[in-house]
Structure 1
Amino acid sequence: MTLRADLHVRRTGFELALDLTVEPGEVVAVLGPNGAGKTTALRAIAGLLPVDAGRITLDGKVWDEPPRTFLSADQRPIGVVFQDYLLFNHLSSLENVAFGLRARGVDKRTARAEAAQWLDTVGLTDQAKSRPRSLSGGQAQRVALARALATQPDLLLLDEPLAALDAGTTLHIRAELGQHLDRYEGRTLLVTHDPLDAMVLADRLVIIENGEVVQEGSPSEVAHRPRTDYVAHLVGLNLYRGTADGTTVHLTDGGKVTIATPATGAVHVAFPPSAISLYPEHPTGSPRNTWPVVVTSVEQHAHTVRVRLTPADGSSAPTNLLTDVTPAAVAELSLTPGRPLWATLKATETQTYPS
C-alpha cells in the first residue's frame, strides 16, 4: 500500500504544504535548498513533529490527522538513518543493530542473532564488537542502515545519509546503499541536498522551494527539463524563460536564442554550459547563436573552469550565461573579468519545452 502524506506545517514566516506519495519498492528523493522544508517534512512523517493540518496514512492506517489522531515515532513502522547516524557510543555495532529489535520486545538472544545477520548483509561481521568511535564514516553509515532495516520497517527514512562522509568514501558507499535499497521491498524517502545522491538512488524526485513542490518526476525528466533556476543549478544547465515565435525565443530577461525546432508561446530553453564555445574574435562559419559577451567571473568548478558571461553592449546574448572550459583555455583566451569575447551556441544543443 502507498504512503500518503498531505503535510501542512506552519512556522513563523514559513509554511510547508507538501503532498507526497511513496509506493512499495519505490525510492523518492526530496531535494531543496536550505530552509525549503525538507527536514520539516521528514520529521513530520517520522512522528517527531505533528502537522498543523493534513493527513499521513500508510496501508490505510492513519498516522497523523489533527486534531483526532497522532501516532508517536515509536508507534510508526519506520526505520530512520540520520545524517550523523546517532549510534549509541557505549554499545557495540552488534548491540546498536539489536537495539531497535529489543525496543520492540524481541528477546536478547534472538535480537543479537538477527543483528549479526544484518551486519553480515552490510559486510561488517568483523566489526560486530567495535564501538562507533572506532568505525570509519562508511562503516558507521552501514551500521546505522542495518539498525534501521533490522526491524523490517514499512518505511525507511534517510536524512542526508551520505553527508558526513568524505569524498573518497562517498562514491563506494553510495553504490552500496543503492544495492541495499534495490533489495528493500518497503518504501524509501530520501531527503538530501546532493543532486548526485538523488539521481543515483531515487526512482522519483520531488523538488521543493519555500515549502512548496516546484517540480516532480524521474531523475531523467528533471535533469533534461528543469523548471526553476534552483533545479537548473542542481543539474548543471543554463535555463531561460521566454516567448517562442518559430525558431526564435525572445527571453524574458532580455536577449534571444535561436532554437532548432519551431515553437510557439511561453517556453523554457535549457542547454549545458559545455555547449557554449568561446572565441577571441568573431568566428567564421559560426552557429546561428553568436553573441559578443564580457567575462564577469572565472572560478574552478569540479574538474573544469566555470566562466560566467554577460552580454556586451548591444548584444542579444542571454544574461548570466555559464560556460565550462579547460584550464588550458583560460590561459589561451586570457580569461579574466572584463575580457570581451564571442560566444556561440548551436541551435541543436538547446532543449525547448512549455513553461
Structure 2
Amino acid sequence: MTLYADVRVSRGAFDLSLDLTVEPGEVVALLGPNGAGKTTALRAIAGLLPVGAGRVALDDEVWDEPPRVFRTPDRRPIGVVFQDYLLFDHLSALENVAFGLRARGVEKHAARAEALRWLGAVGLASYARSRPRALSGGQAQRVALVRALATSPSVLLLDEPLAALDASTTLHVRAELGQHLNRYEGRTLLVTHDPLDAMVLADRLVIVENGRIVQQGRPTDIARRPRTDYVAQLVGLNLYRGTATNTTVALTDGGTITLAEPASGPVHVAFPPTAVSLYPEPPTGSPRNTWPAVVTGIEQHAHTVRVRLDATPTGPTTLLADITPAAVADLHLTPGQHLHATLKATEIHTYPS
C-alpha cells in the first residue's frame, strides 16, 4: 500500500502545498531550511494538524479529506519519533515502549513482554527499568524509536530524530537507525534539515522551500544536479544559471564560464569548490577559466578551508573554493585580499535548466 499525501495548509502568510508518495519499504527524506514547511507536513500526515485542502490516504484508506473525512492520530496506523523524543518522564523505558501497545488494547503482560523484546533488539534490555532522565541521548533516541515500531505501524514518521544528539553520538546512532530502517517494511518519512542524515538514510529526497517542492529524486541524482542555491549549498557545489553557446556560458548574473564540452541553451553549471585554485599572481599557462577575485569570507570546514570570493565582472559573483590550511598560510589569506582564481573546465557539469 502506498502513502499518498496531498497536503495543503495555510497559516497566516505561510502557504504549504505538498504532494508526495511513500512506497512500502521506502525511506523518503523531506529536506529543507527552517520554516520551509517540513514539520507542518509531517504533523498533517500524523493527524496532529488537519489539512485545509487535499487528501492523505494509505491506498484507498482515507485519513484526511476535508470536509468529509478526518481520522485522529490514534486511528491512523502510524509511529512517530519527535526531535526531543517526548518520552514519558514518569515511566520506565519498558513502560514507555509498552504504552502504545497498551493504548491499542494489548494485555499488560503481553505488552511488557513485547516491549522487552524490542528493547533487547536495540541493546537496552538492561535499561528496562530506567527512567528517561537516566538515559543518554542515544539511548533515549533508541527507546523512542522502538516505542514507535512496537505497534507495527504501516507508516513511520521521524521528525529530526538525530537533532538532539551531540556530534560524538550522532555517527553511531545514525548507522544504527539506518539498519532498523533497512529492516522496516513499512513506509518511512524522515523530516530533517541535515543533508548527511538525508543522504545516508533516505532512498529518495524531496526538497522543500517556502512550502513548495523544488526538487526530488535519488540522493545521488540530487547531489549531481542541484536545481536551487539551497540544494547546491547542501551538497557543497557552486551552482549558476546561464545560456550556453558552444563552450561558453554567459551567466545570468554576469560573467562567463568556459566549458570543456560544448552545450547549448539555458543550463545549470555546477562544480565542486575543490575544482577552484587560488594564486597570488596570474597563473602561467593561461587556463581557460581565470578571474581576478576578492576574498569575501574564510570558513573552516573539517580538514579544509572554504574561501568565498567575488570574481565579477568577468566571473561568478559568488565563488567557493576549498583549499588546505597550508595553502591559507602560503597565501596569507585575509578578507578583502585580491587573488586570481582558476577553475578546471573538466570538472564542470552542465545540464538543462
TM bucket normalised to smaller = over 0.9
1:180 aligned counterpart, secondary structure? helix
The equivalent of 1:353 in structure 2 is 351
Matched residue, 2:186: 186
1:315-342 CA distances to partner (integer Å, 9 max, x unpaired)? 4111110111112211110111121111
Q: CA deviation at 1:113?
A: 0.6
| Residue 29 (structure 1) aligns with | 29
Q: Which residue does 1:290 correspond to in 2?
A: 290
SS at match of 1:117: helix
Report matched runs for 1:78-157 at 5 Å: 78-157=78-157
How much has 1:243 moved relative to structure 2? 0.3
Aligned residues: CA RMSD:
0.8
The range that moved more, 278-287 or 344-353, is 278-287
Cα deviation per residue 1:185-205 (whole Å; 9 max; x = unaligned)? Answer: 000000000000000000000
CA distance in 2, matches of 1:141, 1:311: 46
Counterpart position of 2:336 = 338
Q: Which runs of 5+ in 1 are unaligned?
A: none
Structure 1: which 4+ aligned runs deviate by more than 2 Å? none
Equivalent residue number for residue 225 of structure 1: 225
Worse overlay, 222-231 or 286-295: 286-295
Distance in 2 (alpha carbons) for counterparts of 1:34 and 1:174? 21
Matched, 1:278 2:281: no
**1:206 equivalent in alignment to 2:202:** no
Aligned length: 353
Letter in 2 for 1:322: L
Q: 1:214 aligns to what SS in structure 2?
A: strand
Rounded to whole Å, the distance in 2 between the matches of 1:316 and 1:208 is: 33
Give distance in 2, aligned partners of 1:120 and 1:275: 48
For residues 140 and 260 of structure 2, what CA distance do their matches in structure 1 show?
51
Residues 101-110 or 117-126, more deviating: 117-126
Shift of 1:301: 2.3
Code of the residue aligned with 2:320 in structure 1: it is L
Structure 2 Cα separation of the partners of residues 308 and 152 of structure 1: 49
Q: For 2:168 and 2:177, how far apart are their aligned partners in 1? A: 15
**% identity of equivalent residues:** 77
Take 1:289 and 1:126, find their aligned partners in 2: how far apart are those partners? 62
Q: Report 1:306-317 matches (<5 A).
A: 306-311=306-311, 315-317=313-315
Distance in 2 (alpha carbons) for counterparts of 1:295 and 1:64: 52
CA distance, structure 2, for counterparts of residue 85 and residue 305 of structure 1 = 35
Structure 1 stretch displaced more, 2-11 or 281-290: 281-290
| TM-score in terms of structure 1 length | 0.98
Q: Distance in 2 between matches of 1:5 and 1:127?
A: 37
Unaligned runs of 5+ in 2: none
Taking structure 2 as the reference length, what is the TM-score of the superposition? 0.99
Question: What does 1:54-65 align with in structure 2 at a 5 Å threshold?
Answer: 54-65=54-65
| Partner SS state of residue 337, structure 1 | coil
